[in-house]
Structure 1
């Protein structure tokens, strides 16, 4: 029970105080808590039995199938998923040879590195949006500055890069993808 409470405390620090304030994604908060809970108890239960390498590979295969059968998830959300799974595995599989101080230190170190990278080393995140653009004259290479200026005025974003995708000359539209830093919005 102590390890479960310890696991829950450290997961709450990661999920509610590091991940959620920046992302505001409540659906992932729910997912992270439940996945970590299941992983913790799954590993804790399986630790009681002899588990060979085939069983371990089978578990990873199941998680891999689940990953490829779902909607694409951003890399940052996948990284946090890996972190909460890792914390749960560490806390559930710790044995009598590992002291509580070592478990606490491992969890604290993970959180320290996560905070350091997330809050202080965080690079600007580039975000993209696809837009159906109707002023087809501006997609010409010589009108790039006009296109950028028009899109910045309409979206209110500072655009770094623009790519032009499908062009429909019958409807006079083009699919344009804009790239901008996340903190500009």
Structure 2
């Protein structure tokens, strides 16, 4: 009976995580399938391990290996990785029995609360990260920062030059910046693609 309660709690929790939080905010259908599949698969295997002869530690080790393979098979940004491991953790909590019955649902609720707050659009919304291609091979760091701040209308916190092409006269740079307040900053944020919408992409010419 306790196991059925945990199964139900996992179904509710992963539904909230995937549909109410992730899909509502990011609209990626392919990852909905991935998160649900990971959660149910982890739930099933963790339940089998918790009632079988193999220890839960071996099961967690296997899931660690599978997670590495999964994350190396395609490019995921850090936000999608966070949702991935949240779905995995919910499955583990729902499948591993033992201990007080209230503990797994409480931990599930804690995971959902953290993701609700950490991925909220208003949290640190002025901070962005982009990969930009600039006209001109800029070798001076101060000149590069000044060019980026003028282009983005923002305060640049850090830059990392990915490619300096002296033949085609371009500079590819990853930049982390903070939008300035006021209508001008909001207008620039609207006109330019932010890292939250399209992670680390963009072009400036």
Q: TM-score, normalised by structure 1?
A: 0.72
* Per-residue Cα deviation, 1:83-136 (whole angstroms, up to 9, x for no partner): 1111111111124x533x4443332233233323333983345322131x3344
Is 9-18 or 169-178 further displaced after alignment?
A: 169-178
Residue 148 of structure 1: aligned partner: 148
Contact 2:43 2:95 in 1 (8 A): yes
1:4 corresponds to which of 2, 7, 26: 7
Which one has the bigger helix percentage?
1
Contact 1:139 1:147 in 2 (8 A): no
Residue 55 of structure 1: aligned partner: 58
Contact 2:46 2:92 in 1 (8 A): yes
Larger radius of gyration: 1
Paired with 1:164 and 1:105, the residues of 2 have a C-alpha distance of 45
Q: How many residue pairs were aligned? A: 177
Instruction: In structure 2, list runs of 5 or more residues that go unmatched.
Output: 180-185, 195-205
Q: Quick one: structure 1 residues 59 and 151, their matched pair in 2 at CA, closer, same or farther if it must change by over 3 Å?
A: same
Q: Quick one: structure 1 residues 181 and 98, their matched pair in 2 at CA, closer, same or farther if it must change by over 3 Å?
A: same
Q: Give secondary structure in 1 for the equivalent of 2:120.
A: helix
Paired with 2:95 and 2:83, the residues of 1 have a C-alpha distance of 18
Q: How does 1:1-185 map to 2 (within 5 A)?
A: 1-52=4-55, 55-56=58-59, 58-67=61-70, 69-95=72-98, 98-99=100-101, 101-119=102-120, 122-124=123-125, 125-131=127-133, 133-136=134-137, 140=140, 143-144=143-144, 147-148=147-148, 151-152=151-152, 158=154, 160=156, 161-180=158-177, 184=189, 185=194
Paired with 1:130 and 1:178, the residues of 2 have a C-alpha distance of 8
Q: Quick one: structure 1 residues 5 and 170, their matched pair in 2 at CA, closer, same or farther if it must change by over 3 Å?
A: same
Paired with 2:131 and 2:148, the residues of 1 have a C-alpha distance of 14
Instruction: In structure 1, list runs of 5 or more residues that go unmatched.
Output: none
Moved over 6 A (4+): none
Q: Give secondary structure in 1 for the equivalent of 2:73.
A: coil
Contact 2:10 2:90 in 1 (8 A): yes
Q: TM-score, normalised by structure 2?
A: 0.66
